[in-house]
Structure 1
């Protein structure tokens, strides 16, 4: 049985001055923390969805993923800076400290914020929205736990972000 562990987020956000959209997760999963980057679980469909909707080659390495995001004006980060959690179970999250979004918003061209899943959206609404003032768009989770959404349905849902990143 997994125990609660207090963990600090160790990944830096990915963005630059040309970033137009910000995609937020909750907190890195155990697999992502082992991998050392966002959406590192091999069954998570995040990278397949983004490469599908942008008609791009699937990035594999961490460096390729960073370059992919920046080339498409996409930023990623998580709502939570630190929390107490059991394994990768978002529903177990407690003792939340949120990230400070002002640094991204002041140094980029964010036009929209998207939440990858219900929990990321709920946490953003509860802790961040009032400070930031940008309403997040809730998208279905790309997690393998969200089996109701196949790759095609996820791509359809995520394709709405393309209007914000088009040149």
Structure 2
């Protein structure tokens, strides 16, 4: 049965340089109230590899601390929607998150990365015409997107360019 799903609060700070936007948390994430809680989602190994930390082995609160220290923020492009299950293709009546407001509050933001095609489609539309930073489409970290992990790693590696702190950040 379809029900209303709501996004989790944004995880951002004054030092956020890269904002990674998913579509809408799946059932495992909503139940745990944690981003990317499904054990087969590749998000934590992908981002951990980019920033040089084993995030999978850490408790969730520590994962978020390490992300903040690396300048990585998280949120979703959909604030709420009707959706049975966890697949993006089942999202109906989506209300878009206020991405413009969020990015305007992040003075060091250099890139917005979309985790998957649905996030990219909705997020790019929401940011259209804005003075947004670089917009990057990434393959989904979801286990439903069957691109091999090694290929996801290669394609997510583009984020390294914005994760390296410079003297002005």
**TM-score for both structures, normalised by structure 2:** 0.89
* Aligned position for 1:119: 118
- Mapped to 2, the partners of 1:66 and 1:53 lie a distance apart of 15
Segments of structure 1 that go 5 or more residues without pairing to the other structure are none
Match of 1:49 among 37, 46, 49: 46
Alignment length, in residue pairs? Answer: 162
Contact kept, 8 Å, 2:100 with 2:127, in 1: the verdict is no
- Deviation of 1:54 (Å): 1.6
* Aligned position for 2:75: 77
Aligned-pair RMSD on alpha carbons? 1.5
Distance 1:14 1:131, change over 3 A: farther
* Aligned position for 1:13: 10
Contact kept, 8 Å, 2:45 with 2:54, in 1: the verdict is no
- Deviation of 1:49 (Å): 0.6
* Aligned position for 1:30: 27
Whether 2:54 is the aligned partner of 1:40: answer no
- Mapped to 2, the partners of 1:7 and 1:34 lie a distance apart of 11
- Mapped to 2, the partners of 1:94 and 1:16 lie a distance apart of 30
> SS in structure 2 opposite 1:33?
helix
Segments of structure 2 that go 5 or more residues without pairing to the other structure are none
**TM-score for both structures, normalised by structure 1:** 0.90
> SS in structure 2 opposite 1:64?
helix
Contact kept, 8 Å, 1:21 with 1:110, in 2: the verdict is yes
Match of 1:107 among 105, 108, 112: 105
- Deviation of 1:131 (Å): 5.6
